Amino acid sequence: MELTTGVDRAREPGGKQFPSLYVEPEKAAEEIDWPALEFNDVFKIYESGSARTVALRGLDLRVEPAELVAVVGPSGSGKSTLLALAAALDRPSAGDVTVNGRSLAHLDEAGLASHRSRSVAIVFQSDNLWPELSARENVATALRLAGRPHPERTAEETLGAFGLSERTHLRPGSLSGGEQQRVAIAAAAARRAPLVLADEPTGELDEKNEGIVLRSLADLRDRFESTIVVVTHSDRVAAACDRVIELHDGKVATGKDAP
């Protein structure tokens, strides 16, 4: 079989050749690998009367797709502010935050609302769930708010993937702390949120349940390809992550963005 380049030729049944209409698509000159999350020289200043608090001081960081990254640092180092800006719950005073290559600074309020509902999921330390709804209803409601199809079926399947098949009918008050966090993680997985931000997700759990939640976060990354940024004070959580970023005084501590 002869392979040709340029203008390819095909044959009619009688043997006559004619030029093919197929045109090979042009290849992109360069493929860009967008980071899942990037902060470029970001400042955040809070003002109250005459008082000014600088939470972030020219923060630069980059998180790659499908990374599981821990952010650590003392209280007041800027960890919670980092999560708030990545979730578009607040805007930076200067600099730029991008998620999957899209600058949040260029989004209007409708665009920011869409980002919050479709592109990012947040897992807090506690109180992630609606107390009057069952585990299944919590996940299904999150799916409806994000405009995802088949919310009931997807909720049931995703809760099963996180080992909660026998607990789907229970309300949060009947679930352990670890189970509640796994429901919140399942909701993020069901929504297929590309970026998951977790703020001390194991802060109120014992060591056993902390391990279970850590495995759930790893499953979220491995099976659903989410990028996960975890703010934590736990050495065990940090050790389980791919990389640890330490913040100090509103920026990455020198030499502390460890691979």
Rounded to whole angstroms, the Cα distance separating 180 from 202 reads 11
Any idea where the domains of the chain sit in the sequence? 37-258
Which residues share a beta bridge with 121?
196
Judged on CB neighbours under 10 Å (0-12, 13-18, 19+), 30 is exposed
With H, G, I as helix, E, B as strand and everything else as coil, classify residue 46: strand
- The set of residues, in sequence order, having a beta carbon less than 8 Å from that of 42 and lying 6+ positions away, is 56, 58, 59, 60, 85, 92, 94, 95, 96, 97
Question: Per-residue confidence at 233, pLDDT binned at 50, 70, 90?
Answer: very high
Q: What is the DSSP string of 65-80?
A: TT-EEEEE--TTSSHH
Does 42 score more than 60 pLDDT? yes
- The set of residues, in sequence order, having a beta carbon less than 8 Å from that of 21 and lying 6+ positions away, is none
Sign, CA dihedral 62-93-197-246, equals: positive
Rounded to whole angstroms, the Cα distance separating 159 from 172 reads 14
Q: Using one digit for the tens of pLDDT, what is the confidence trace for 49-70?
A: 889 999 999 999 999 999 999 9
* Start-to-end CA span in the chain (Å): 49
Q: Using one digit for the tens of pLDDT, what is the confidence trace for 19-33?
A: 544 445 554 434 567
Instruction: Determine how many CB atoms are found less than 10 A away from the CB of residue 150.
Output: 11
Among 2.40.50.140, 1.10.10.10, 3.40.228.10, 3.40.50.300, what is the CATH number of 37-258? 3.40.50.300
